[in-house]
Structure 1
Amino acid sequence: MSEAQTPTLELTILMPCLNEAETLEVCIRKAMGFLERSGVSGEVLISDNGSSDGSQDIARRLGARVSDAPRRGYGAALLNGIENARGRFVIMGDADDSYDFENLEPFIAQLRGGADLVMGNRFRGGIAQGAMPPLHRYLGNPVLSGIGQLFFRPNIGDFHCGLRGFNVQRIRALALQTTGMEFASEMVVKASLARYRIEEVPTTLKKDGRSRPPHLRSWHDGWRHLRFLLLFAPRWLFVYPGLLAFALGAIAVGVLSFGGVRIGEVGFDVTTMVYASALCVVGYQALMFFWLTKLFATQEGFLPASARYRSIVAKWSAERGLILGLVLFLLGIAAGIIQVVRWGSLDFGPQDAATVVRIAVPSALGIMLGFQTILMSFFSGVLTTPRRETPLSTVIEA
């Protein structure tokens, strides 16, 4: 760790900045006022994302430190600031004068008490009229926060609050990756997966002081956050739907292979069997995508690799997958050969359509699942090939 990264102060108040000349001065003055009033040894750090409106000069004139972020993006600016922070703790917030930099005592108290991440809750602290669009306040934030709580259990009510504090060494250990708006979600998700202590304190939100529109794009950025949450929760995206589809499809195919079934006035026969086999294939594909996604995400540092997961990967090999796939494939071929032999016994004449389908569907299902398993095994072998560099995700235990 370089000297600039070594904590020499208690607190760094970090603000990402991209052309915030209208509001940057008032934010810095509020942050400086808090440091002076509270007696906390700290600094105000502006991580500039390439401003062209003189924001850097404003910050330096007011005594703030400026660090130029080499890459564009909200996450890139914050990653740069976290890397260059001199404080043991960091409290980050946007430089648009919407967050309350004058009342950071609750964050400091929780951080001093041992919290790794302290989230602000705008819904508990108060949202001024016009500060948050109704779409965000009543739909976007509650829905995304609810999904985040369901998937990762961070026990917070405002998943996307931009005013948050953290122990800088602990957050650096997470090896955060994303450079865009997903960064805010990644921090909470990885902290939850790493079993960090996460606390929440009330904070206020007021209408920002800029005359231009915010950088945030409601539907676009909302979808990016949702997609990110789903990718970090592959069980919810792949495993649970996949298991349900595969089980229902396989059971239906197995039962209908012995004959039609009636439930009340409704009959289920070979037509249902065909659709059930498709459901089975879809479910199986979802499960394979889970496995491949998990392999790739852990290799690239997006998901943590727990001891249990590494044990499973160590026991599994591409060769075992190939054997399983080959067995399924050959069973499907064998069922098809049996059907052809039976047809030959009829001198290749007309057959009962329902009887043919009852054999053809399991045969085709075995061939498809076997072939997919073989391909998945080859690809997983590529992903698990030993490489020179060890992914940073291995330092995190889920």
Structure 2
Amino acid sequence: MEPEITVVLPTMNEEEAISIMLPRIKGVLERMGVPYEIVVVDKSTDRTPEIAKSMGARVIMQEGKGYGDAYLTGFRNARGRFIVMMDPDGSYDPGDIPKLLEPLFSGEADFVMGTRLKGEMDDGAMPWLHRRIGNPLLTWILNFLFKAGISDAHCGMRAIRKDALEKLPLQCKGMEFASEMVIEAARRGLRTVEVPIRYHPRIGESKLSSFRDGWRHLRLMLLYSPSYLFLLPAVVFMALGAGLMGYAYFIKPERLHTLILGSALTLLGFQILGFGISARVYAVKEGLDEPTRLTRFFMRYSILEEGLLVGGLMFLVGVFLGIYIFLEWSSSGYGALFMLREAVLVLTLTTLGLSVIFFSFFISIYMLKGEH
């Protein structure tokens, strides 16, 4: 009989915990009266795989490395319609498995997240830094960037329908897999609910590295959101730079340093904007993101010619202004030159013009095999 439920357990040197947790997990599943399997994805140097096999689990040796890689391996080998994820170190309570599965059984949800922060947490189960700062902060950032609407983004006890899981293009191999799964579920429109769970002190030594793993989660979220990483700072820098240049050129001409600062911010903003647009177009071309009005505009075949026209005009205006400055300098006998404001404008226009030209070539490389 094909299993209805697959419980995936990633293990690495958990021989003490696995001998305690497997009987408890099996007991809960047997009381539910639903066909099940337990898949242990192992990368141990101790007796963990032997113990798991002796207790009836299907053991798959992990060829790669990392938390995410273990789950991806387990998912590929899962046969159940519903998949339960949990760490086998004793921190998660097998008694909560039915609560996680109920919204899936009833059709209320596609993806169920446990939440430790709204459930029962034993003293010492989670370090103060994780409970009060790290986890809430990273969860807030994830919710802000991706509108996931959850309270505990890094809870490792989860359940998902296998057909819903197959819609998620999960690729991360490390701890950031936990964030990737939530992000992709939100982006793909999976119905996600949270259920409060219990959280206990783990059995054995923790393998987490607070700052390294926290950075990996933050790094992933930033790379997944080029609009916030690139486009928003770019717009701010360019608007501020243009405003400072206009103020220094037309209102307070003696503010030469302000003019130079405005020029620098404008050029910096455009460079960041180019990175952001390129990242968005790349994501669409690789199937990592859905097209938007912005990406459709820059993915048009004619964007190269339009960029060459706009950039070329900016460059020529700068060159003609530069020639005018040179002629003025020549007519004054090549003496002291008091046209520094105009010189900054020449620098800005020519640099921007060339940047637009080369950006247009760069973005058009993505369209080499597009429709003409």
TM-score scaled by length of structure 2: 0.93
Corresponding residue for residue 258 of structure 1: 250
Corresponding residue for residue 296 of structure 1: 282
Q: Kindly state the Cα deviation for residue 145 of structure 1 after the two structures are TM-superposed.
A: 0.4
Structure 1 alignment gaps of length 5 or more: 1-6, 262-267, 388-398
Deviations 1:158-204 (A, max 9, x none): 01111111112222222211111111111111111112211111011
**Aligned to 1:173, what secondary structure does the other structure show?**
coil
One-letter code of the match for 1:370?
G
Distance 2:26 2:297 in 1: 51
Asked whether the 8 Å contact 1:327–1:370 carries over to 2, the reply is yes
Corresponding residue for residue 349 of structure 2: 366
Structure 2 alignment gaps of length 5 or more: none
From 72, 83, 86, the counterpart of 2:79:
86
Q: Kindly state the Cα deviation for residue 103 of structure 1 after the two structures are TM-superposed.
A: 1.9
- State how 1:146-165 maps to structure 2 within 5 Å: 146-165=140-159
Distance 1:235 1:182 in 2: 20
Asked whether the 8 Å contact 1:141–1:159 carries over to 2, the reply is yes
CA RMSD of aligned residues (A): 2.0
Asked whether the 8 Å contact 1:194–1:304 carries over to 2, the reply is no
Corresponding residue for residue 177 of structure 2: 183
**Aligned to 2:121, what secondary structure does the other structure show?**
coil
TM-score scaled by length of structure 1: 0.87
- Number of equivalent positions: 368
Deviations 1:76-99 (A, max 9, x none): 110011111111111101111101
From 213, 218, 221, the counterpart of 2:213:
221
Change (3 A) 1:295 1:306: closer
Distance 2:310 2:161 in 1: 47
Deviations 1:278-332 (A, max 9, x none): 111121111111112223334445x322365663344253343333332322222
One-letter code of the match for 2:150?
I
From 7, 22, 35, the counterpart of 2:16:
22
From 35, 39, 44, the counterpart of 1:41:
35
From 290, 296, 315, the counterpart of 1:305:
290
From 239, 259, 271, the counterpart of 1:273:
259
Consecutive aligned runs of 4 or more in structure 1 exceeding 6 Å deviation:
none
Distance 1:222 1:202 in 2: 23
Asked whether the 8 Å contact 1:82–1:172 carries over to 2, the reply is no
1:51 aligns with 2:44: yes
Asked whether the 8 Å contact 2:318–2:350 carries over to 1, the reply is yes
One-letter code of the match for 2:143?
Q
Distance 1:259 1:342 in 2: 23
Corresponding residue for residue 136 of structure 1: 130
**Aligned to 2:322, what secondary structure does the other structure show?**
helix
Identity %: 38
Distance 2:154 2:183 in 1: 11
One-letter code of the match for 2:217?
H
Asked whether the 8 Å contact 2:237–2:268 carries over to 1, the reply is yes
Corresponding residue for residue 345 of structure 1: 331
